[in-house]
Amino acid sequence: MPRNPNWTRDELILALDLYFRLGSAAVSESHHEITALSRLLNELPIHPSRAAAQHFRNAASVYMKLSNFKRLDPDYAGKGLDAGSKQDEVVWEEFASRRDLLARTAAAIRSNVQSMGGHQGPQLIEEDNEFLEGRLLARLHTVRERNPALVERKKRLVLSQTGRLACEVCSFDFAIVYGRLGHGFAECHHLVPLSELDGTRAVLPEDLAVVCANCHRMLHRSRPMISVLELRGLLAAPNRDG
């Protein structure tokens, strides 16, 4: 019988959020929030082969995961379950002191479930950026900022306003550096923080920033993701190491 796949960061974010929301309330496997999370985890397009696994993320396994967190919780008087994964600890470390971000991130995942396309939608790829906020929201970010119609609208708008497509971080202009080849080329970065992605609201041109490929990579490399303004600040900072 295939084993259940390990819990991913996205799943642990949802579980830890529920752990804190339930607080010290005594709950059982049949608590409605536990069964609701079990249903949600079965809907998320994270584990393509989950159907083959036994009792994938059923209420008992969600309940067990919440018990795993107890061992990491200094506020928990009992001992908690000894078992648990390294990844439980990582997610606990990162979010136990950032409960607000945790709650917003979990809410953003829930609010976007419909646009994730379920198991028929695009699968997460291992190499996808693993952000603090998990892969599901990171993929949505990428899908949104690569929406061809929206990107086209944004670029036309900026061209009509400024006459060029300069990077909003470093001012790099592909048309100036590469001549005709670079004409009309620029990337777009979605400005809404991952934890605030709202599945009920359409993406607008003002949600995007025009950036060069280098600056875009640097924005995606930062953990948590920094803003265009913050990256501009890094660029301007004199190098004091040398």
Should residue 210 be labelled a site residue for Zn ion when binding is judged by CB under 5 A?
A: no
Q: Which stretch binds Zn ion (CB under 5 A): 35-43, 51-59, 125-133, 170-178?
A: 170-178
Nearest of 139, 153, 20 to residue 91 by alpha carbon: 20
Rounded Cα distance, 13 and 189, in Å: 24
Q: Which is nearer to Zn ion, 140 or 215 (CB)?
A: 215
Which one of 124, 172, 210, 231 is in contact with Zn ion (CB under 5 A)?
172
Which range, of 73-81, 89-97, 117-125, 144-152, touches Zn ion by CB under 5 A? 144-152
Q: Which two tokens stand for residue 200?
A: 């009920």
* Cis peptide bond N-terminal to 193, omega within 30: no
Q: What 3-state DSSP class applies to 33?
A: helix
Tokens, residue 151: 């990107």
Q: Which residue bears the tokens 């953003």?
A: 108
| Cβ nearer to Zn ion, comparing 15 with 215 | 215
The residue among 57 and 141 lying less far from Zn ion, judged by its C-beta, is 141
- Residue 189 found at the interface with Zn ion (CB under 5 A): yes
Is 215 an interacting residue with respect to Zn ion (CB under 5 A)?
A: yes
Nearer to Zn ion, 57 or 189 (CB): 189
212 binds Zn ion (CB under 5 A): yes
**Are the C-beta atoms of 235 and 170 separated by less than 8 Å?**
yes
Judge contact between 170 and 192, C-beta under 8 A: no
Query: Crossing angle, helix 32-43 and helix 9-22, to 10 degrees?
Result: 170
Identity of the residue numbered 130:
E
Nearer to Zn ion, 67 or 147 (CB): 147
* Closer residue to Zn ion, CB minimum distance, 151 or 212: 212
Q: To the nearest whole angstrom, how small is the minimum distance from the Cβ of residue 39 to Zn ion?
A: 31
Residue 175, classed as helix, strand or coil, is: helix
Q: Does residue 41 touch Zn ion according to CB under 5 A? A: no
188 part of the interface to Zn ion, by CB under 5 A: no
Question: Which listed residue (167, 197, 210, 225) binds Zn ion by CB under 5 A?
Answer: 167
Nearer to Zn ion by C-beta: 93 or 230? Answer: 230
Give the separation between CA 61 and CA 59, rounded to whole angstroms: 5
Q: Where are the beta strands (DSSP E) in the chain?
A: 187-190, 208-211
Which residues lie across from 187 on neighbouring strands? 211
Q: How far is the CB of 194 from Zn ion (least distance, A)?
A: 10
Decide if residue 169 touches Zn ion (CB under 5 A). Answer: yes
Q: Does 151 bind Zn ion (CB under 5 A)?
A: no
Provide the binding-site residues for Zn ion, judged by CB under 5 A: 145, 167, 169-170, 172, 189, 212, 215
